[in-house]
Amino acid sequence: MSEMTTTGADDDAAVSRFVERFAAELTEAGMQRMASRVFAALLASESASMTSAELADQLQISPAAVSGAIRYLSQVGMVSREREPGSRRDRYVLHNEVWYESLTRRDAILTRWEKVLRDGSEILGPDTAAGRRTAETAEFFEFLQKEMLSMLDRWRAYKDAGAGS
């Protein structure tokens, strides 16, 4: 059974075009192509979950391509695998608040990058062009991290207030 809309072929075609368009944007931003397509299909599905067979059927890709995409999406914390009740089949489920969680994890990466860059600035010498450039890059990541945390706090308050719904 397809996870696409049940109102007709025109709606299914429109959903497919949206999935491919958004997947292309994610790929352009650096995500793996198949992972982008699988993520977009899950995002566009009513239940935010699909089986491997449903994904392969909707996207017209092989089960192996689905498996590789799911492996990547699981590793980066964007989807999880759940056992379908009463079945041996797995369902792949899009995490709630996937963007919030992804940006929160990015915070730890920025912290590590900032530390390495500050160490690098000292090694390169704070009075050298390379040292100053590296220190400025560390300052940028520190600034970005503070702004991102503040933005995520504002998003949480905005969402909790029911705004935008």
Tens-digit pLDDT profile for residues 121-155: 999 998 999 999 999 999 999 998 889 888 888 98
pLDDT at 165: 59
Tell me what pLDDT residue 110 has.
84
pTM over 0.75: no
**What's residue 8's pLDDT?**
56
The contacts of residue 103 (CB under 8 Å, 6+ apart) are: 148, 152
pLDDT 10s digits, 58-110:
999 999 999 999 999 998 888 988 887 787 888 999 887 777 777 777 777 88
